[in-house]
Amino acid sequence: MKIPEKFHRLFETRTYGYLATVTPKGLIQNHPMLIFREGDKVKISTEKSRQKYRNLKADPRATLLVMDPENPYSYIEIRGKVESMEDDINNAFIDSLCPRYFGTDRYEKDPPGAKRVTVTIKPEKIFTFPPGA
């Protein structure tokens, strides 16, 4: 499943993705996320105390919507599943996103003791608008 090249630039700018997951009680959660593309997979960062982490541990379904910030009629929706969740040792992954999103070298929004996890999502269906873009 390919992430079309046309949308690669959204993963290179300060664009947030909107990640929909399902809670253990069956509610749908939809939250903004920092996003990273590695080939045709998507990586996100979450923290072990977060609802999102509990959701993805219990239910691997994850759908990411990424909008072109300049055009609400250009977007990609990636429906996928968690392929792996790995401890983010020394915050290497989240820190690597900071120059792009915040113009800084380190992620400083977590409380002390936060335990970051890097989640890799493998797409199973990809929809774009306009279709076929």
Q: How far is the CB of 72 from its own copies (least distance, A)?
A: 5
Beta strands across the sheet bearing 36-38: 28-33, 17-22, 61-68, 71-87, 116-129, 41-47, 36-38
Q: In terms of CB distance, is 16 or 47 closer to its own copies? A: 16
Q: Which is nearer to its own copies, 69 or 87 (CB)?
A: 69
| List of residues contacting its own copies (CB under 8 A) | 16, 18, 20-22, 26-32, 61-65, 67, 72, 75, 77, 79, 124-125
Query: Would you say 28 or 92 has its CB closer to its own copies?
Result: 28
Dihedral, 18, 22, 27, 28 alpha carbons, nearest 10 = 20
Q: Which residue has the tokens 């020394």?
A: 90
- When the beta carbons of 30 and 84 are compared against its own copies, the nearer one is 30
> Minimum distance between the CB of residue 70 and its own copies, rounded to whole angstroms?
12
Residues 6+ apart with CB under 8 A from 9: none
Structure tokens at 97: 């996103």
Q: Tokens at residue 15, please?
A: 């664009």
Shortest spacing between CB 89 and its own copies, in angstroms: 26
Reference 44, options 11, 71, 72, 68; nearest CA is 11
CB of 50 to its own copies, least distance (A): 12
